[in-house]
Amino acid sequence: MEKLVITVAPTGSVPRKKDSPHVPMTPDEIAETAYLSEQAGASIIHVHCRDENERPTSRFEIFKETVDKIRKRTNLIVMTSTSGIAGTTDADRAAPLKSKPEMGSLTTGTLNFAGRTPSVVYVNSVETIQYLAKAMLDLRIKPEIEAFDVGFIQQGRKLIDLGLVKEPAHFQLVMGVDGGVPATPDNLLHLRNQLPPTATYVVAGMSRMQLPMTTMAILLGGHVRVGLEDNLYLKKGVLARNEELVARARHLAEDLQREVATPDEARKIMGLSAVA
């Protein structure tokens, strides 16, 4: 089996310091988490940034400072978010890509974040999706096609057909968001079976489903994403640090006799050229 690529998603758009003091918010905090996560076995970091009030932001200056600080301290593959929670216009959402990450996230559909009060509609029109895909293509940034449900995969495949995403493509299967596909073994197999044959994929399980979905992905030959963006706890009542979640994924893989990729090995697996 291919070596396992572990992505750490340390911050996200939702958790605040009051939810967990371990969520990194500032560029320095995120760079420190990146360093500790690389030591623990991560090879990709999925970056969201926050403003002075911990609110999600797509401000270029903040992303640039964060990406530069991560690069100074680690060899991790940097993937920036193009989330519509942080930025509203298409240009806003593309701004973090100018910080020159190797990868960028690309959500290929609209969904309800039904578990929030009030609920949030995460809007990704076809035009927005194509705009962001084109921006990444022009900047030679590899997209991670983010699928919250089955139809998102088919929309990702359309981008390949249109020439907006190059093959082999890379997908993220987000399991267990309230409003998206539930995190069950059957659903994971079904999603995986919809992928193009040459695609790589990473599985992100939400909350308490992070551990079982991580385990399944390791066994299936997929890759895994862990971190406080998706799950704040190591186990019931015990808050996690990002690097602890990475270390747990690594130990699981090693126990199951699957080797863990270094960042440079992950670049080969993801089809990225070496960083200059």
Phi-psi region of 179 (alpha: psi -120 to 50; beta: other; left: phi over 0): left
Q: How far apart are CA 44 and CA 33, in angstroms?
A: 12
Closest distance to Mg ion from the beta carbon of 99 (Å): 15
Which residues in the 189-208 window bind Mg ion by CB under 5 A?
none
Q: In this structure, are residues 28 and 16 in contact, taking their beta carbons and an 8 Å threshold?
A: no
Whose Cβ is closer to Mg ion: residue 7's or residue 81's? 81
Count CB atoms within 10 A of the CB of residue 41.
Answer: 21
Whose Cβ is closer to Mg ion: residue 37's or residue 81's? 81
Whose Cβ is closer to Mg ion: residue 102's or residue 262's? 102
Q: Does 81 bind Mg ion (CB under 5 A)?
A: yes
Closest distance to Mg ion from the beta carbon of 267 (Å): 21
3-state secondary structure of 233: strand
Q: Does 7 bind Mg ion (CB under 5 A)?
A: no
Closest distance to Mg ion from the beta carbon of 145 (Å): 13
15-23, 79-87, 112-120, 186-194 -> range binding Mg ion (CB under 5 A):
79-87
Q: How far apart are CA 136 and CA 208, in angstroms?
A: 33
Whose Cβ is closer to Mg ion: residue 86's or residue 169's? 86
Q: In this structure, are residues 260 and 254 in contact, taking their beta carbons and an 8 Å threshold?
A: yes
Closest distance to Mg ion from the beta carbon of 124 (Å): 13
Q: How far apart are CA 137 and CA 159, in angstroms?
A: 11
| Contact mark string toward Mg ion, 22..61, x via CB under 5 A | ----------------------------------------
Closest distance to Mg ion from the beta carbon of 256 (Å): 26
Q: In this structure, are residues 198 and 227 in contact, taking their beta carbons and an 8 Å threshold?
A: no
Count CB atoms within 10 A of the CB of residue 91.
Answer: 11
Closest distance to Mg ion from the beta carbon of 255 (Å): 28
28-36, 80-88, 124-132, 153-161 -> range binding Mg ion (CB under 5 A):
80-88
Whose Cβ is closer to Mg ion: residue 1's or residue 9's? 9
Strands 77-80 and 56-57: unpaired
Q: In this structure, are residues 6 and 249 in contact, taking their beta carbons and an 8 Å threshold?
A: yes
- Adjacent-strand bridge partners of 107: 146
**Which residues have CB under 8 Å from 40's CB, separation 6+?**
243, 244, 246, 247, 250
Q: Does 80 bind Mg ion (CB under 5 A)?
A: no
Closest distance to Mg ion from the beta carbon of 172 (Å): 9
17-25, 28-36, 76-84, 263-271 -> range binding Mg ion (CB under 5 A):
76-84
Q: In this structure, are residues 198 and 171 in contact, taking their beta carbons and an 8 Å threshold?
A: no
The residue whose Cβ lies closest to Mg ion is: 81
Closest distance to Mg ion from the beta carbon of 44 (Å): 12
For Mg ion, the binding residues (CB under 5 A) are 81
